[in-house]
Amino acid sequence: MHRFILFDIDLTLVRTLGAGREAVDIAFDHVFGIKDASAGWAFDGKTDYHSFRALLERHGVAGTDLDLTYQRLVGGYLTAFPSTMATKGGLVFPGVIALLDALEARYGALGLATGNVERGAALKLGRFGLWERFSGGGFGEWTADRADLVLDGVTALARILGQEPDATRAVVFGDTPHDVQSAVRLGGRGIGVATGRYSVEELLAAGASAAFPDLTHLDAILAAVEG
């Protein structure tokens, strides 16, 4: 059976060492004059749409047109992000390249199911030479629901591969319960990777069909994808 392979980005494929949070804080400061806007906010597993709008409302700057205010914040974030990434640095997790190579050889195209806005995802993965590895995806532009990301990712891959967009054939790799549950809710499969803030045991308890300490366990991961 063909699978639609989708990946979360942050703490699954790469670590950017707080560059995104710093860019959000710079954007709030430059656009609204608010410093340290993201203090105490957990971005894990949330979409940018969810996080940015919640922070706008928390700081009382949502305004009468929340969509427009949100777009102003996104613009400021994307302007600041390249410089914060250059300052913070970051890394690609061990095993990622070998796994992408093996999955692409087997399934033909790979996608994303990420809470990042699309341009943010491109900047982030592009810094590590990974953006071109993905043929499409679901992005956190306009939804707070990660299941929407999976549906968009499946649709994008199905179009490229000439397949029917069946979400029950989705396999989502992620480091949070939200990632794995987004696939399970649609009848697909979530595979957890404990390179973020959640353990293997917590990811399994959230419904992951398999979970691994990292992505270096290539043979076992490929077997888990097939089920």
Residue 62's pLDDT band, with cuts at 50, 70 and 90, is confident
What residues contact 210, with CB distance under 8 A and at least 6 apart?
A: 191, 192, 204, 220, 221, 224
State percent of the chain over pLDDT 90.
Answer: 98
Instruction: Give the pLDDT confidence of 136-190 residue by residue, as tens digits.
Output: 999 999 999 999 999 999 999 999 999 999 999 999 999 999 999 999 999 999 9
Task: Sort 82 into a burial class: Cβ within 10 Å, 0-12 / 13-18 / 19+.
Answer: middle
Closest CA to 141 of 209, 206, 73, 199: 73
How many residues are present in the chain? 227
- CB 163: neighbour CB atoms within 10 A? 15
d(CA 38, CA 52): 9
Pairing verdict, β 14-15 and 91-92:
antiparallel
* Mean pLDDT value across the chain: 97
pTM: 0.96
What residues contact 105, with CB distance under 8 A and at least 6 apart?
A: none
Q: What is the pLDDT of residue 80?
A: 98
Q: What is the pLDDT of residue 191?
A: 98
Joined together, the tokens standing for residue 210 give 């398999």
Closest CA to 145 of 45, 70, 56: 45
Average pLDDT for 10-38: 97
Q: What is the pLDDT of residue 82?
A: 97
Given a cut of 90, whether residue 39 has pLDDT beyond it is yes
Pairing verdict, β 189-193 and 170-174:
parallel
Average pLDDT for 14-43: 97
Task: Sort 162 into a burial class: Cβ within 10 Å, 0-12 / 13-18 / 19+.
Answer: exposed
State percent of the chain over pLDDT 70.
Answer: 100
Residue 227's pLDDT band, with cuts at 50, 70 and 90, is confident
Which residue do the tokens 């404990």 mark?
Answer: 194
Q: What is the pLDDT of residue 2?
A: 92
Q: What is the pLDDT of residue 165?
A: 96
Instruction: Give the pLDDT confidence of 95-151 residue by residue, as tens digits.
Output: 999 999 999 999 999 999 999 999 999 999 999 999 999 999 999 999 999 999 999
Q: What is the pLDDT of residue 64?
A: 87
Contact 100, 135 (CB under 8 A): no
Given a cut of 80, whether residue 1 has pLDDT beyond it is no
